[in-house]
Amino acid sequence: VRSSAASDVYKRQETVCGDGSSSYQPYSTVSVDSQGVGSGDSLCALRVGAAFDRSRYNVIPVDVHGLHWTCKGAGDRKVEVDKTDFSVPVGDGKIRFDYAFIMIHGTPGEDGKLQGYLEMMGIPYSTSGFVSSVETFDKTLCKRIVSEIDGLCLAREVLLRRGDRVDADAIAARLGLPV
């Protein structure tokens, strides 16, 4: 449900992190890390989730581990997120999220995968858009794009991928010394 007041844009917001209380409030999702519960990123997401105004938002933490997305249900049991409509079952019904506050480092939170999914679902989110996330996550692609900007100077580079043969003399010749 959306209000016309600018300060109250999202009445229900998805937060892939939070307490998931059973009383009706706006629903939020704060994306927790994809590295696993207990890591520093997860603790940070829980702290951010706790900072939301609980009188306005029902913050529900969602742990994202590859294709396995869960949140805490009654009795701290893990409840699987229904990715067909980005919702969680509650009793005989389900909670559909209205907004995602993404806090995932790396994939799928920074590389555009989660943003693309949320855009397909029609759910607004807190980070940059799908295209800019894809372009900036791939540093080589990003440099190619921004190199077209007149007057922008970029450092010379040599792209090395795992398994590439490294020829220090050829790299020094291309980049110049000192590097």
pTM: 0.69
Over residues 1-12, the pLDDT tens digits come to 333 333 333 333
d(Cα 97, Cα 157) in Å, to the nearest integer? Answer: 43
Question: For residue 59, what pLDDT band results from cuts at 50, 70 and 90?
Answer: confident
Q: Is the pLDDT of residue 68 over 70?
A: yes
Q: What is the pLDDT of residues 125-167, one digit of tens each?
A: 999 999 999 999 999 899 999 999 999 998 888 888 999 999 9
Higher pLDDT, 45 or 151: 151
Q: Which pair of tokens denotes residue 175?
A: 């980049």
Statement: residue 34 has pLDDT above 80: no
pLDDT, tens digit, for every residue of 105-115?
788 888 999 99
What is the average pLDDT across 29-53?
A: 60
The band of 123, judged by pLDDT with boundaries at 50, 70 and 90, is very high
| DSSP annotation string for 95-162 | EEPS-EE----STTTTSSHHHHHHHHHT--BSS--HHHHHHHHSHHHHHHHHTTSTT----------T
pLDDT for res 22: 35
Task: Match 């795992």 to its residue by tokens.
Answer: 162
Q: How many CA atoms lie within 13 Å of 125's alpha carbon, on the beta-carbon side? A: 28
More confident residue, 150 or 20: 150
For residue 148, what pLDDT is reported? 93
Cα(86)–Cα(174) distance, rounded to whole angstroms?
49
* Most confident of the ranges 37-41, 42-46, 172-176: 172-176
Residue 179 has pLDDT above 70, yes or no: yes
pLDDT at 20: 33
